[in-house]
Chains A and B, each alone.
Chain A
């Protein structure tokens, strides 16, 4: 069963009112019945006493004049008294004179009259009434009444009346409670309903209806005030949210603008890149065309050059006839110029070949020691002729690398030749070494001289084509100006690199660094 605490407030109120009514009613009923009980007891005594007085008075003559029949009649007249169980008349001497009912045995009656007055026995009320006539006592009347039965019947009768009255009172109480309960519960229920509604719909603009100025009314006011507070806060929050939303929109707009700008930029970059690429491709294609042209031209140039050099050599050998000293000198100039031209053409041819990608490389194991010694065999005389010291420093163990022999040979000759060419006094040191460099094993071939060195401002364009150090040196040093450029290009093809270190006026060191495959 539900506990009282969990009951709906309506039932609680109903129960309270009804139980109060019932308790009050029961208390009243109890009080009433208790009062009635004692009143009845007293009333019964009084009633019996009155009855006794009248009967005693009526029977005095019968007693005085010995009329037993009349006495019997008088006592018989008591039969209307419902609860009277016995009556008797004793004469002056205390002898039983008459009794009622007649069936009553003498031994059931007191043998002699007792003291006047009525008193309750176990359940019977009995007593003696002196029979007086003009202040003289003529005898005694005895009356016995079933007081318990009288009381019981009377209370039962009252109860029979009280029961429907009680039912009526309960009904009225119920109806009243029903009506009154609504006065209390309706505002509470409405309040609860409103609160529930607000909670469910989150509608803080709703207000609870006020029914009166009692505590519930105060509660309603409190709720409404709270709702107003919440609503205010809500609207403030909404405002803040709106501001935030606007801010967000602005930010988004900014982002979009940024995106557009970025897209634009990207497009521009793409366009520019495309332009650059096309420009680059154009440049490259024109460069290639130039190289092809040069390759073809060099080949066409070399054929007549061979004829010039060959026939000049024949003349110089004086095979067709003797030559004058002046003729011999002029022929020598022709030969030297022709050789220079040929070498120029060869270099150009090589450069053009490289740049047009027509160089074919053949990778094979090459011994560094042997290739350097071969080079030294050719160039040592040249250096010694200029009075230079020519040193070769090789490791005890041979270094074998996988590379193109011809290209490597050309680079070595070029670098060694340059060293000799640009050194007037001192020495040339050519060294080979294998060392570890940033995790890789590399072979370094270095060419050091004590020549004029390179000025810092010239170092940037050292590897460019047709760039000898100064115009004055062109005359002093024989060369095409293509040597270093060609060497660097070849080194790149081999996966190697040429670096240099130079101090102007003291000498230079060129290093070929070959990474081993």
Chain B
């Protein structure tokens, strides 16, 4: 809620008005609210995607050279819309600018540091993760059982809060160094769990 309060007063007023309207409309309104909540979750997740770049160290081999940007990729249907682009615009992390790339298929993925795998790609998850196995890419998804299947970070929504679940072994295998601070705020899992 604190994060929501951070938005502009105008937006807050509008949100309250919508909530009051939804409460008057009953179950119809309830379903509508769920859609709204999902939108909010994706906005948070977009910010988290950006924030990962600050808590994760990639091996130098992950970049072509010093000036190359950090690429946040989205594989499959993009749930963030323009919000992700807005979030990373103008940001520089460790002298590197950030850019967002969207991929339809795993084969399209070239140089990429963070890859969000959309729910639309759940069926191909094994193949996707298999392909990415030897590459230093932080794989992120909100799909169920993502970390058990070899993904590195999963967004878990609990009590309207987006939580993190991290497969440390997978990260290690990908040659990534995840900040202990990040690990502190996340649930860490091994392949057998979940």
Contacts and interface: CB of A to CB of B under 8 A. Distances in A.
A136 B93 contact: yes
B54 to A, nearest CB: 4
Interface string A375-409: 00000000000000000000000000000000000
Contacts of B16: none
B2 A61 contact: no
Contact of A60 (B2, B5, B48, B181): B181
A66 interface: yes
Given A133-B55, A134-B94, A136-B54, A65 B185 contact: yes
Given A61-B182, A65-B164, A95 B55 contact: no
A128 to B, nearest CB: 18
B34 interface: no
A454 B164 CA distance: 195
A70 interface: yes
A231 interface: no
A93 B94 contact: no
Interface string A410-434: 0000000000000000000000000
**Chain A CB within 10 Å, residue with most, of B55, B93, B184:** B184
Contact of B44 (A57, A66, A96): A66
Contacts of A96: 2
Interface in B110-130: none
Given A66-B44, A134-B93, A136-B54, A58 B181 contact: yes
Interface string B166-194: 00000000000001011011100000000
Interface residues of B, number: 24
A93 B44 CA distance: 15
A236 B161 CA distance: 123
Nearest to B4: A95
A102 to B, nearest CB: 15
B126 to A, nearest CB: 28
A488 interface: no
Main SS of the interface on chain B? helix
Given A61-B55, A65-B51, A136-B91, A70 B2 contact: no
A64 B47 CA distance: 8
Contact of A61 (B6, B92, B161, B179): B179
Nearest to B50: A64
**Chain A CB within 10 Å, residue with most, of B2, B53, B181:** B181
Interface string B88-100: 0001111000000
B82 interface: no
Contacts of A92: 6
B55 A64 contact: yes
**Chain B CB within 10 Å, residue with most, of A65, A68, A95, A136:** A65
Interface string B43-69: 010001001011100000000000000
Interface string A81-97: 00000000001110111
B182 A65 contact: yes
Contacts of A133: 54-55
Nearest to B178: A61
B162 interface: yes
A494 interface: no
Contacts of A29: none
Contacts of A60: 54-55, 181
Nearest to A68: B2
Given A66-B44, A92-B6, 5 more contacts: A60-B181, A62-B185, A65-B182, A70-B184, A95-B2
Interface of B: 2-3, 5-6, 44, 48, 51, 53-55, 91-94, 161-164, 179, 181-182, 184-186
